[in-house]
Amino acid sequence: MSNNPYETFIRQLENGAKVLGIGRDVVEVLKEPERVLEVSIPVKMDDGSVKVFKGWRSEHSTALGPAKGGIRYHWNVTKDEVIALSAWMSMKNALMNLPYGGGKGGIRVNPKELSDAELERLSRGFIDKIYKYLGPDQDVPAPDVYTNPKIMAWMLDEYEKLVGRKAPGVITGKPIIVGGSLGRNHATALGGFFVLREAVKVKEGKNLEGMTAAIQGFGNAGSHMAKFLAEAKVKVVAVSDSKGGIYDPNGLPIDEVKKVKSETGSVVNFDKAEKISNEELLILDVDILVPAALENVITEKNARDVKAKYIVELANGPITPEADDILNEKGIFDLPDILANAGGVTVSYFEWVQNRMGYYWDEEEVDAKLDKKMTKAFKEVYEAMEKYKVPPREAAYVVALRRLVEALKSRAVV
C-alpha cells in the first residue's frame, strides 16, 4: 500500500473517469499539474544566522479559472504532497461549481520553532519568490495547515508592495480589517455540518437530534463542528487532539472543553471525562464520526472496526483507498473531503467576490449563501450515486470531472 498522496489522487481520478467513460487523453492531462514552482527562501534568523527553507506552489489545473488553494507550513511537506493537494483542489472547486482551478503551496518548516519576526520574514520571502505567478485572476492562495489570517496579511502586504497597487483579491482567509470575509473562520465546519444534515435527511428522513458523534481533531474545524452539532442536539461523546482524547457517553459540555483546550493547550486536561486514545475514538459506537485532523487515520487496519453510520471528512485524505473499499462494503455513508470540507474554499470564493466588488456581506448572508452552495453540491453528488450506483467519493469525482472535462473540451485542450 502506498501512502503517497499523489498516487492516491491518480487512483481516485481513474476510478471517476472509469464511471464516466472518460478517454485516456483527459486522464493524462489531469494527472499532471500545469506548473510547479520550487523555490529556496533564505531567511535571516533572530540570532543573525541565515537558514534556507524549501517551498513549492503547484497549479494543477486552470481550466475553470485561476488556481485556488492554501499554503501550508509543515516540517514534512513534500513536492508530491503539494501536487496532490493542488489536484484535490481542482476537484473540490469543480465539485462546488466555483470559477477556480486547483492550486496549493507549502514550505518545509516547523513554524513552532520560529519567532513571529522569523515567520514574517519567511512568509514575505516566499511571496518574493512566487509573486509573478500570483494574482486575483491567476492564482489565489489562502491559509492551510499552520498558517492563519496574520500570515495571509503579511503575504498580501508583500504582494501589494511588489506590484505597486492594492490587490485584496490575491489572497483569501485574510483578517476582516484588510478585506477578509465574515463567516470564514467557521466555514469549513459549517459546510460539513450542512452536508451531514442533508445526508441524514435523504438516508433517514429526519434531522440530527438525538444522534451521537465523535470528533478526531479539536482545532478550528473540529471545535466549530462540535459546537454546530451540539446546537443541533447531537450528543458529542468524544473529542481529541494530538495529545489524546476524552470520552463521556452522556455527551461533553463543548464550551467547557473549548475553555480547557484554550487555557491548557489540550482537551486531555478536561478532567470530568474518561481519557481515550485517538485510535480508540475512531472505533467508538457512535452515529457520526468526524476525522478533522490528519490524513490516513482510517486504514485497512482499523476500517473494519469503525462503527459509525456517517463519516464527515473535515480533514483532507483521512481515509486510505484500501479503507474506502472496506467502509463501502459495510454500508457506511462517507461524506468525502472534496465535498465535506469544501465550506472553507467556498467562503474564500465569497471573500474574493466581495474584494472584487468592494461590497461586504454580513455573517448571516455568508452563512445562508454557504448553505445553498453546500446543499446543491450534496444533491448533485447524491444524484450521481443513485444514477451510477457508486459510493459518495466516486460520485463526487464524477460531478467534478464532468465540469473539468467540459472546460477542457471547450478550450480544445482535449
| Residue numbers annotated as active site | 104
Closest CA to 212 of 163, 133, 285: 285
Q: How confident is the model at residue 294 (pLDDT cuts 50, 70, 90)?
A: confident
Looking at residues 352-362, what average pLDDT do you find?
97
* Residue 126 in grid coordinates: 516566499
Alpha-carbon span 283 to 79, nearest angstrom: 33
What does the mean pLDDT of the chain come to? 95
Cβ-contact 101, 66 below 8 angstroms: yes
Q: What is the pLDDT of residues 120-146, one digit of tens each?
A: 999 999 999 999 999 999 999 999 989
Alpha-carbon span 152 to 47, nearest angstrom: 25
Q: How confident is the model at residue 8 (pLDDT cuts 50, 70, 90)?
A: confident
With residue 382 as reference, give the H or E element that holds it. helix 363-388
Looking at residues 210-228, what average pLDDT do you find?
96
Q: Which residues pair with 38 in a beta bridge?
A: 56
Looking at residues 179-194, what average pLDDT do you find?
96
Looking at residues 100-128, what average pLDDT do you find?
98
Order of all β-strands in the sheet with 101-108: 35-44, 50-61, 101-108, 67-74, 139-143
Q: Check residue 175 and give its pLDDT.
A: 97
Q: Check residue 31 and give its pLDDT.
A: 94
Q: Please name the amino acid found at residue 395.
A: A
Closest CA to 340 of 413, 286, 289: 289
8-state DSSP, 111 = G
Looking at residues 240-251, what average pLDDT do you find?
96
8-state DSSP, 181 = P
Q: How confident is the model at residue 58 (pLDDT cuts 50, 70, 90)?
A: very high
Looking at residues 80-88, what average pLDDT do you find?
94
Q: Is the pLDDT of residue 82 over 90?
A: yes
Q: What is the pLDDT of residues 16-36, one digit of tens each?
A: 999 999 989 999 999 999 999
Assigned fold of 31-166 = Rossmann fold (3.40.50)
Alpha-carbon span 345 to 90, nearest angstrom: 11
Using a 10 angstrom Cβ sphere, with 0-12 exposed, 13-18 middle and 19 or more buried, the burial of residue 388 is: middle
Q: How confident is the model at residue 3 (pLDDT cuts 50, 70, 90)?
A: low
Cα-to-chain-centroid distance, residue 133: 23
Q: Check residue 1 and give its pLDDT.
A: 40
Q: What is the pLDDT of residues 175-185, one digit of tens each?
A: 999 999 999 99
Order of all β-strands in the sheet with 235-241: 274-276, 244-247, 235-241, 212-216, 288-291, 310-312, 333-335
Q: How confident is the model at residue 11 (pLDDT cuts 50, 70, 90)?
A: confident
Indicate where the chain has its CATH 3.40.50.10860 domain(s): 31-166
Instruction: Give me the sign of the Cα torsion angle 322, 327, 330, 333.
Output: negative
Indicate where the chain has its CATH 3.40.50.720 domain(s): 187-335
Architecture of the domain whose range is 187-335: 3-Layer(aba) Sandwich (3.40)
Residues with Cβ within 8 Å of 250's Cβ and at least 6 positions away in sequence, in order, are 235, 237
Q: Check residue 5 and give its pLDDT.
A: 81
